[in-house]
Amino acid sequence: MQIIDNPNRESWSQILKRPTQTVDDIEGIVSEVFNNVIKNGDTAIKEYTTRFDGIDLQSNIVTEEDIKKAVLIVPKKLQNAIKEAKKNIETFHIAQKTSKINIETTNGVQCWQEKRPIEKVGLYIPGGTAPLFSTVLMLAVPAQIAGCKEIVLCSPPNKEGKLAPEILFAAQLCGVTKVITVGGIQAIAGLTFGTEVIPKVYKIFGPGNQFVTVAKQLATKFGVAIDMPAGPSELLVVADNSANASYIASDLLSQAEHGADSQVLLVSTSKNLINSVSEEIEKQIRELPRQAIAEKAIANSKLIYIENNELALDLINEYGPEHFIICTENEDFYVNGIANAGSVFIGDYTPESAGDYASGTNHTLPTNGFSKAYSGVNLDSFLKSMTFQKISKEGLLNIGETIELMAEAEGLQAHKNAVSIRLKDIIPTKAGIS
């Protein structure tokens, strides 16, 4: 990892640059796939699965029989672990439910807000080198709690042309209504436009590589909502002399092994700690089965010395990490001061892995600095807030003139008339207002 010593503010934007391509670099291929799927539907999706995944699938529909067989393959201990994680995720997301808000803003004007589920959602589950069955829990559990009617799961095939049995086990455990073996840009295109096999959905969820991320962003041009731009994984750790170097190295490597385009950063007020963490990374990385992948990510990553906590916090907020770990004596300074982060992990015994799997918080989070404006997936991600209002005669008398004056000032006479025509009927019957 590159060690950077006390960089000046002018260099921060360059130092904190992500190792990802821009939308412009990828948009061409995404548009090509989208246009082909619009014209040729499942035929185009089959062609892209062959080209990108190297698999010629006769059918990409996962049947109930496929799921039953997969469940038998998953070891009982792992099944129990998945169920335990599901319970914690359910507990945290159920707690996010809010009650109906009902208020009389002025006499006779009743306003309220209720939340209704998004009826059709698509869940993208990354496959590739690491099939993320944990992401099934993170997306399907809140979708089920919210009451989504159609929960469509798409995930790319492995070398045998199948989905990992753990993905199928988690899918049936969490109420997924349809599972399709398709990944990449073509999966997002199918969910966006709909085909004979893949239902069109109203909102697409889930992380993915750079191509999937750009495909999701372009899907919004066609009237489909997305959870957020969630691309290659990233982690920033802030630490001081009190921190455990081996713990920090393990956290950095836990994200580095996600993919070659992942990025991990350590920001520290201690040069001694930076050197110790660097040594620990060299030691621990040799033991990883995914060493080659982690090494590529580590090459994109940095150890940054900053002279004081105030500057460190400014740099961290400028970066806006997906995952943010705090290992400092004065942890409250960072807990209270962090403005831009997807999810925050506090203290020596809160590894980022906990949030990835089983603490209960959601691991589908904004990357690439989007935490400055986006939230991670939560229960509200699967709900719409709808407002209602009911106005009595008395209520319209109370706010009618206000509406008339404002509408007239904006030059919208029909808006004014919609009130005036009613007031003419109400005013003669003031004595009997109801």
64 is catalytic: no
Whether 431 has a pLDDT exceeding 60, the answer reads no
**pLDDT value at position 128?**
66
Residues 102-113 have a mean pLDDT of 98
323 is catalytic: yes
Domain coordinates in residue numbering, the chain: 2-20+254-356, 23-231+380-384, 392-432
Whether 434 has a pLDDT exceeding 80, the answer reads no
Is 255 marked as a binding-site residue?
Answer: yes
Is 186 marked as a binding-site residue?
Answer: yes
At residue 374, the 3 state secondary structure works out as: coil
- Please write the tens of the pLDDT for every residue from 182-213: 999 999 999 999 999 999 999 999 998 889 98
**pLDDT value at position 232?**
82
Indicate the pTM of the whole model: 0.93
**pLDDT value at position 1?**
82
Residues 393-415 have a mean pLDDT of 97
Percent of the chain with pLDDT over 90: 89
Is 410 marked as a binding-site residue?
Answer: yes
Instruction: Name the phi and psi angles at 353, rounded to 5.
Output: -55, -30
DSSP codes of every residue in 135-189: HHHHHHHHHHHHT-SEEEEEE---TTSS--HHHHHHHHHTT-SEEEE--HHHHHH
**pLDDT value at position 22?**
64
Whether 429 has a pLDDT exceeding 70, the answer reads no
- Looking at 15-24, 106-115, 160-169, 193-202, which range is the least confident one? 15-24
Is 144 marked as a binding-site residue?
Answer: no
Picking from 233, 309, 231, the residue whose alpha carbon sits closest to that of residue 265 is 233
The single-letter code of the amino acid at 234 is E
Could you check whether 2-20+254-356 and 23-231+380-384 share the same CATH topology? yes
Cα–Cα distance for residue pair 362/245, rounded to 1 Å: 26
More confident residue, 343 or 1: 343
Residues 79-90 have a mean pLDDT of 98
Tell the burial category of 246 from Cβ atoms under 10 Å away from its Cβ (0-12, 13-18, 19+): middle
- Please write the tens of the pLDDT for every residue from 289-345: 999 999 999 998 999 999 999 999 999 999 999 999 999 999 999 999 999 999 999
Whether 122 has a pLDDT exceeding 70, the answer reads yes
With beta carbons less than 8 A apart as the criterion, state whether 201 and 122 touch: yes
Whether 432 has a pLDDT exceeding 80, the answer reads no
**pLDDT value at position 21?**
60
Cα–Cα distance for residue pair 1/281, rounded to 1 Å: 9
- Please write the tens of the pLDDT for every residue from 130-152: 789 999 999 999 999 999 999 99
Q: Which residue among 166, 234, 257, 322 is the active-site one?
A: 322
Q: What is the mean pLDDT of the chain?
A: 94
Residues 230-245 have a mean pLDDT of 93
- Please write the tens of the pLDDT for every residue from 174-189: 999 999 999 999 999 9
Local confidence band at 217 (pLDDT 50, 70, 90 cut-offs) = very high
Whether 433 has a pLDDT exceeding 80, the answer reads no
**pLDDT value at position 204?**
98
Q: Does domain 23-231+380-384 have CATH number 3.40.50.300?
A: no
Whether 162 has a pLDDT exceeding 80, the answer reads yes
CATH class of the domain comprising 2-20+254-356: alpha beta
DSSP codes of every residue in 213-271: HHHHHHHGGGT-EES----S-EEEEEE-TTS-HHHHHHHHHHHHTT-TT-EEEEEES-H
Is 261 marked as a binding-site residue?
Answer: no
Is 113 marked as a binding-site residue?
Answer: no
With beta carbons less than 8 A apart as the criterion, state whether 53 and 177 touch: no
Cα–Cα distance for residue pair 191/209, rounded to 1 Å: 17
Q: Which residue among 280, 323, 352, 363 is the active-site one?
A: 323
Instruction: Name the phi and psi angles at 213, rounded to 5.
Output: -60, -45
**pLDDT value at position 381?**
98
Cα–Cα distance for residue pair 320/342, rounded to 1 Å: 8
Residues 361-377 have a mean pLDDT of 95
More confident residue, 18 or 128: 18
